[in-house]
Amino acid sequence: MPYAYPAAAPTLSGDLLTISRFLSDPVRIQRRLRDATDLRFVSDQLLKDRQRASGGAALYDMTEPFISDRPVEAVSAGSEYPYANLGTGTAGLAAISKWGQKALLTDEEITRKSWPMSAVDRALTKVVTTVIKQVDTVSMAAIGTAITAEVGTAGRWDDIPANRKPLDDILLAIQAIEDLNLGYHADTLVVSPKAYTYLMLNDAIAQLRKRETSDNPVYTGMIETVANLTVIKTPNLPVVTRAWVLDSTQLGGMADEATAAPGYAQFGGLAGVEVKSIRKEGQDAWDLQARRLTVPFVQEPGAGYEITGVVL
């Protein structure tokens, strides 16, 4: 939306009419949030199983056996195949929490901006990201409690260059997960922002990357894959001096409860937050309200491995 500078004097009839029409339409809000690609849940990248909760709780199986309870036998011609029992693991129950927050946005704050939609965008972004941060914090704490397998680093990632050995740590963690022989295949590396920076700066990793390419950290400022693991950076690790290697398809999931409440616009599909705008006529203002009804659950603790002491 173009605008002039300096901005014209605010008029309550022009901009406010447009903003009011936008805020009164959940579909418009949903489209606006869909364009905000930076509003992503780290939780949903690490816990990829999806469940629809009902009755305020989610039922799941922990450490489900990977194979049946009996070995395969040779079957004679014309004979029946022997039956085997398929274990279901230990049942777990997780209670749904409704995480929510709202912010007040006045008509004056909207109309006195040179670009009126900027006030709405900022308010929506703040309430949504606050919900995201809370859910991520809870989910990361659940993962950190569940993962018990760990090993100290072969060389701290932020030590002098000669002592840094992040690739050794990562490859040994992958091997430890695969050695369990439970069908886990590590696909994700989770690190703190500091560990992420030193991962990009590591000479051994840099020397093994493709040389004639522009998709390396020198140009992009990102390192997306190491040892075939997707690298995820988050400030919400329970212990920022540690890193996780895990199988995100097996570790666990998020259970969301669908309420079909009127007036809410959903961001992020099945696993997203919901946003609602409420007109407050007596105050010449709007309430922008965001929530998520969800609970994280860890089904396979063995699908994760923790590397301790990667940075100070």
**pLDDT tens digits, 26-85:** 766 766 665 544 555 789 899 998 887 777 888 877 776 667 788 888 999 999 998 988
Cα(300)–Cα(147) distance, integer angstroms? 9
Q: Are residues 48 and 129 in the same domain?
A: yes
Tell me: the pLDDT tens digits for 94-103?
Answer: 889 999 999 9
Task: Tell me how many domains the chain contains.
Answer: 2
| H or E element in which residue 79 lies | none
Which structural domain range is residue 132 located in?
15-64+91-144+252-298
Q: Are residues 206 and 286 in the same domain?
A: no
Average the pLDDT over 184-211 and give the result: 91
* Torsion, Cα of 19, 25, 31, 34 (10° steps): 90
Q: Are residues 234 and 262 in the same domain?
A: no
Average the pLDDT over 190-216 and give the result: 87
- Domain presence at residue 5: no
Q: Are residues 129 and 261 in the same domain?
A: yes
Q: Are residues 133 and 20 in the same domain?
A: yes
Q: Are residues 157 and 287 in the same domain?
A: no
Q: Are residues 153 and 286 in the same domain?
A: no
Q: Are residues 126 and 257 in the same domain?
A: yes
Give me the pLDDT at residue 6, please.
38
Average the pLDDT over 201-230 and give the result: 84
- Counting Cα atoms < 13 Å in the Cβ hemisphere of 279 gives 11
Q: Are residues 266 and 138 in the same domain?
A: yes
Average the pLDDT over 127-136 and give the result: 89
Cα(176)–Cα(129) distance, integer angstroms? 35
Average the pLDDT over 221-236 and give the result: 91
- Domain presence at residue 80: no
Q: Are residues 139 and 153 in the same domain?
A: no
Cα(132)–Cα(102) distance, integer angstroms? 14
Higher-confidence position of 250 and 38: 250
- Domain presence at residue 73: no
Which residues pair with residue 59 across a beta bridge?
A: 93
State the DSSP string of 152-217.
E-SS-TTS-GGG--HHHHHHHHHHHHHHT-SS----EEEE-HHHHHHHHH-HHHHHHS-SS-S-SH
Q: Are residues 107 and 47 in the same domain?
A: yes
**Does the pLDDT at position 254 exceed 70?**
yes
Q: Are residues 179 and 217 in the same domain?
A: yes
Give me the pLDDT at residue 3, please.
39
